Every structure is written in structure tokens, then in C-alpha cells.
Amino acid sequence: MLDGVQIELAGRIPLQHAELVTRYIEDQDTLLLDTRSLRWASPLELAALVTIGTDAAHQGRDVRLQLPYDEKVTSYLGRMNVIDLLEEAGCKFDGSPLATGRRDRRDTLFEVTKVTTADSQQVAERLGEMAFGRLGRKAGAAAFKAMSELLDNATTHGVSDVGAFTAAQLLTGVTSNWPGFAFTVCDAGVGIFEHLRASAPHQDLVDSRAALERALQHKVSGVPGGNRRGYGLGDLGKYARSDGGGRLIIRSNGAVASVVLRSECKINYSTFTAPMNGTWASLRVRRT
């Protein structure tokens, strides 16, 4: 028997600002995803919902999504594949998913998509086309490389039966107040702590927070003999800063790192308790 858990996502882009709000519920073996008060979702909330729901269903939990009161938000969850993917995983819905008439927005929206090692190149091609098409060659290349380094981490180090889920959005600035892009990839793998601890140089790590701190250092890799690796996260900061700066949020198991990507990187670490497996990486970059 697994504990029954409710995870609440409420307000505007809640995972960009706060940690997962979770509480235990009486229904054993149940995961209740409460999005009733969700008012605005970024790629992070969308991909995280699908990943955590799919992972819980894979573990044998009953997964239920309580749909948003705001029909526009519900419609957006449908438009961005969240409802289809959760339904595919066996999730039930409280409320009625609205039929979505989809306009072709492939130039700005990348719906939540499952990504594996085998199809990462196809996903990257679409992200590249989107980034170059909307941001131009220079900023597009920086955005593509930043997104792809995160994608590579998720599909190589975060491998699981569930796979990883990614989503992206290019922002014009009209509703978000700033132009740029937002990208997320969430996996349900072992997480950074277990991944690093599997290699000899990192067996001194004691918890997820320490592992995140280590992972964000230059030239750190959990791959045995990976002396040419460990540049990805550092490069990502460089790409983001070459554009206009931004923020990278990495959640892995019970720890969060929030990295402000400006001329100097500022990193805040915190911990939380939630039944979350794997690693979620979210990057938001402003264009100058």
C-alpha cells in the first residue's frame, strides 16, 4: 500500500515561485493532482503534472486530476497535451475536459511531449526550428543549445520506464511582460543524488541538496571516466546570459536549486518533502 497524496498547483505559475504543496489523504494508493485553483501554467507546471501523474500510475497508484475551475486554463491543459497524456497513463478526471480546437502554434508552442533517448533528435529538431524561427540565428542557437543540454541530461542520466516529458513556449512579452522562452524537461529517473553517488568520486554525498550543489559545479559528472563531461550546466548559464539572462530551476528528489543567470550566477538552494522522483529542470530566458 502506498500513502494517498494530494498535490496542489494553485495560482499563477506556482512551481516557479513555491515548492510543491502536498498533503496526505485517506485514499490509499491514490495521487490526487489538484489544479482547481490553477490560473496560469508555464511549461514547468504542464510537464511536471504529466510526469508525476504518469510516474504514479506506473507505480500502481490511482491518479486523479481535479481540473481547473477556470475553463480557459482547462482548455490550455488540453491544448498542451496534458489531458491526453494523463488519460493515456490511466488518469481519471474530476470535471469535464473541454474539447480543444487547436490552432497551429508550432512556431511558439511545444506541447508536452514524451521524449526518450531514441527520439531526442526529432524533439531537438522541432525545438531548434522553433527557436531559430522566432528568436533569429544567434539567440536561437543559444536557446537551442541550452534546451538541448537539459534534454540530454534527462534522456541519458534520468532514464526510467516512464520516460521524460518536455514542453516549451516562446514568449512575445504581450502576456508574460517579457519576451524570451520557457523550457522544461522532467524525468522520473533516479535523480541527481543517486546518479552522482553511483560514481566513485561522489560517494561522499549525503543528500539531494548536497548532490545538487555538486552537480552545479564546473566539470562534475556522474559518468565513470567522464573527464570530458560536466560542462552542460555551466554552458547553459553561458548561453542564457549571452541572450539576456534568466532563471534555471532544478528540482531533484527533495532539493531545489534556483539559479539566477546574469553576469554572475546566484544560486539559492532549498529542500522540500514531496513524493517526487527524478529531476525537473526548467529554464526561462529573457531576450534583450
Q: Annotate each residue in 7-46 with x if it binds another protein (CB under 8 A) or - if it does not, as one string.
A: ----------------------------------------
129 in contact with another protein (CB under 8 A): yes
* Residue 214 C-beta: closest distance to another protein, Å: 19
Chain centroid offset of residue 173 CA = 21
Q: How far apart (Å, rounded) are the C-alpha atoms in residues 66 and 32?
A: 7
- Binding test (CB under 8 A) with another protein, winner from 8, 45, 55, 149: 149
Q: Among residues 236 and 255, whose Cβ is nearest to another protein?
A: 236
**What CA–CA distance (Å, rounded) separates 52 from 7?**
10
Instruction: Choose, by CB under 8 A, the member of 117, 172, 217, 270 that binds another protein.
Output: 117
Closest to another protein by CB, 38 vs 154, is 154
| Site track for another protein across 200-239, x = CB under 8 A | ----------------------------xx-xx--x----
- CB nearer to another protein: give 103 or 228: 228
Contact flags string 155-174 toward another protein, x per CB under 8 A: xx------------------
| Helix segments in the chain, DSSP class H | 14-17, 43-58, 71-79, 82-88, 120-135, 137-156, 191-197, 208-215, 232-243
CB of 147 to another protein, least distance (A): 8
User: What is the chain's percent helix, strand, coil content, to nearest 5?
Assistant: 35, 30, 35
CA distance 135 to 140: 5
The C-alpha angle 114, 148, 212, rounded to 5 degrees, equals: 90
Distance of CA 257 to the CA centre of its chain: 13
Nearer to another protein, 35 or 242 (CB): 242
Q: Please state, in angstroms and rounded to a whole number, the distance separating the CA atoms of residues 29 and 237.
A: 40
Q: Helices in 208-278 by DSSP H: which ranges?
A: 208-215, 232-243
- In angstroms, rounded to a whole number, what is the distance separating the alpha carbons of residues 16 and 183? 12
The CA distance from 258 to 159, in Å, is 23
Given 96, 137, 174, 288, the residue binding another protein (CB under 8 A): 137
Using the contact rule CB under 8 A, the part of the chain among 8-16, 116-124, 184-192, 201-209 near another protein is: 116-124
Q: Taking the complex as a whole, how short is the minimal distance between the CB of residue 166 and another protein, in angstroms?
A: 12
State the residues that interact with another protein by CB under 8 A. Answer: 117-118, 120-121, 123-125, 127-129, 132, 137-138, 140-141, 144-145, 148-149, 151-152, 155-156, 228-229, 231-232, 235
